[in-house]
Structure 1
Amino acid sequence: MTNLDSSASVRALIRQHYPALTPSERKFADALLDNYPAAGLASITIVASNAGVSSPTVARMVKKLGFKGYPEFHKALLGELEAKGVGPTQRRDNWSAEAPETHLLNRFAQAVTTNLQLTFSHIETARFDGATRLLADAERRLYIVGGRITQALGDYAFTHFQAVRPGVTHLTSSSGTWPHYVLDMQPGDTLLIFDIRRYETNLLRLAEMVKQRGVAIVLFTDQWGSPISSLADFTFHCWVEIPSGWDSNVSTMMLLETMIAAVQEERWPEARERYERLDELFDMTHFFRKFT
């Protein structure tokens, strides 16, 4: 049995060990990932029956993931479910109770560094490259949206992608206007969406609407996973916990900047031509100061 990585979600452990699972174990793993984590929150008998496998199959799989048994596996899923709904006050209390006697600067630096390492270690290059090609494809119109906090990430993404490629639209922060954008979406278009805990119902409804229209979804979420994960074509989990009542966007921003750079390279030299034309327009408006 492997040693359990306490920093990894059950979803991440399944993906890590998936190649070593038997066909019947993969059947249960697939059922769990399709309805995560709800499909694993009942008794071992019920979850096995729902997945169409035997209880011993479930027991063997959870041990391959590094759990001592099904009760520990079940507890881990419950812990993830509870963490999804934690608000700022509880997050701050959790960190305060466990805070080492070091300066907050050091604790922040350690937490952010760990978040970055975990985020990038869980990204498969094929998935990253697939999302990059999707976002770079100018034949597909690109729509971008964020939530109450992540709207800033959406704005940052729009500013850069709009310079790199044509056909980019930033949805406003008012969800009441979103149906107007959906009205013009075509099959094959792409929606880049940011959703971290506490996940927003309006974003889920938007994702459901665009999915029905054949729009591809690229999702940036946290380590637990927004409900939109079940609808997304590409999902990227970013670790966000820090010694604060708030979650951090550092790892999400780092991944976003990496993807912006990758899309730029995918579209070069077309992107260079857009940059040059954009600079000409800025010169005409005297937007930037000239020092020479």
Structure 2
Amino acid sequence: MTEPAETIAERLHAAFDSLTRAERQLADSLLQNYPVSGLGSITLVAKAAGVSTPTVARMVQKLGFTGFPDFQAELRRELEAKISDPITKHDTWVEKAPDAHILNRFTDAVMGNIRQTLTQIDIETFDRACTLLADPGQSVYVVGGRITRSLADYFFMHMQVLRADVTQIQSMSNAWVHYLLDMKPGDVVVIFDVRRYENATLKLAEMAREKGARIILFTDQWRSPVHEFADCTFCGRIVVPSAWDSSVTLMLMLEIVIAEVQEHTWASTRKRMEELEDMFDRTRFFRKFT
């Protein structure tokens, strides 16, 4: 299956500045419960946004669709992709698999994901997220889900070296609620959540927001519902010719963030690294060949 260059949500964000006031109102309405918000009749979609039906028709054409039915067909395709399980994803790729070797097909898909993701990153959002993460006055919490906890582990390990007061929330345990007890206004919660979004993660985001925390979300191109509570959202494209989604793009984004936070905190980070290396030497944690 060939993935479209952009999701409708990405098209809406890219076109937002060129939309009329009524069209912006419609775009906001569509994004509030995306993509389900666009699946009613054109009359219901217009009514929910408080605009006219001609406004809906004009905006979908601005987004590159021939009309509202074409727009909804793409929304349904996105929704199907969003909720598809690993078996369904595998069967879809097998049916459409080209003759090229998997090494080439998989790599091409990943490279396309990276290119498309990087074009969608907002520089101001990136800089704001790194500034939040580098602020020594605020605690940082990191949480992932069933699959994305490996990304959370990687990010946590590096952040723990870069700065003090970093905590990993054990998302697979019912004890995650305990971490909210010490959360303060201004603290930063980094959340990883990709499709088949987890209910516990959404609830944690909601409750953390109520505590005054600021949320940095790493998600896929369809955007986790956690986006509603996030201060900074990074959407990495994840589709590859496999039953499993790819984490390559999200890992790339993480490594770039880690590198930038390191630049912000280098004076204190260098001391932490030196102390850590001394402890490694004392414990003989690593082998030395000199």
Same fold? TM cut 0.5: yes
Matches within 5 A, 1:132-281: 132-281=130-279
The Cα of 1:120 is off from its aligned counterpart by 1.1
- Pair 1:48 & 2:46 matched: yes
Partner of 2:109: 111
- The correspondence for 1:283, drawn from 281, 284, 289, is 281
Provide the rounded CA distance (Å) in 2 between the counterparts of 1:102 and 1:11.
31
SS in structure 1 at match of 2:141: strand
Provide the rounded CA distance (Å) in 1 between the counterparts of 2:135 and 2:287.
34
Provide the rounded CA distance (Å) in 2 between the counterparts of 1:268 and 1:133.
13
Partner of 1:30: 28
- The correspondence for 1:9, drawn from 7, 10, 14, is 7
The Cα of 1:33 is off from its aligned counterpart by 1.6
Contact 2:220 2:235 in 1 (8 A): yes
Task: Specify every segment of 5 or more residues in structure 1 that has no aligned partner in the other structure, as ranges.
Answer: none
Moved more, 265-274 or 52-61: 265-274
Partner of 2:76: 78
Moved more, 74-83 or 159-168: 74-83
SS in structure 2 at match of 1:268: helix
Provide the rounded CA distance (Å) in 2 between the counterparts of 1:83 and 1:271.
42
The Cα of 1:287 is off from its aligned counterpart by 1.1
The Cα of 1:55 is off from its aligned counterpart by 0.8
Moved more, 30-39 or 143-152: 30-39
The Cα of 1:78 is off from its aligned counterpart by 1.6
Q: What amino acid does structure 1 have at the position aligned with 2:287? A: R
Provide the rounded CA distance (Å) in 1 between the counterparts of 2:72 and 2:37.
10
- Length, aligned pairs only: 288
Query: What are the superposed Cα offsets for residues 127-165 of structure 1, whole Å, 9 maximum, x if unpaired?
Result: 111111111112110000101111111100010001001
Q: What amino acid does structure 2 have at the position aligned with 1:68? A: T
Partner of 1:120: 118
SS in structure 1 at match of 2:186: coil
Provide the rounded CA distance (Å) in 1 between the counterparts of 2:268 and 2:70.
53
Provide the rounded CA distance (Å) in 2 between the counterparts of 1:219 and 1:101.
37
Contact 1:145 1:171 in 2 (8 A): yes
The Cα of 1:173 is off from its aligned counterpart by 3.9
Contact 1:175 1:202 in 2 (8 A): no
The Cα of 1:228 is off from its aligned counterpart by 0.8
Provide the rounded CA distance (Å) in 2 between the counterparts of 1:31 and 1:60.
16
Moved more, 81-90 or 282-291: 282-291
SS in structure 1 at match of 2:191: strand
Query: What are the superposed Cα offsets for residues 204-257 of structure 1, whole Å, 9 maximum, x if unpaired?
Result: 111111111111111111111111111111111111111111111011111111
Q: Taking structure 2 as the reference length, what is the TM-score of the superposition?
A: 0.96
The Cα of 1:39 is off from its aligned counterpart by 2.0
Matches within 5 A, 1:60-75: 60-75=58-73
Q: Taking structure 1 as the reference length, what is the TM-score of the superposition?
A: 0.96
- The correspondence for 1:131, drawn from 129, 132, 145, is 129
Q: What amino acid does structure 1 have at the position aligned with 2:232? A: F
Query: What are the superposed Cα offsets for residues 98-130 of structure 1, whole Å, 9 maximum, x if unpaired?
Result: 111011111111111111111111111111111
Partner of 2:100: 102
Query: What are the superposed Cα offsets for residues 64-107 of structure 1, whole Å, 9 maximum, x if unpaired?
Result: 11111111111111221221110111100111111110111111
Moved more, 75-84 or 191-200: 75-84
Provide the rounded CA distance (Å) in 2 between the counterparts of 1:266 and 1:60.
45
The Cα of 1:53 is off from its aligned counterpart by 0.8
Task: Specify every segment of 5 or more residues in structure 2 that has no aligned partner in the other structure, as ranges.
Answer: none
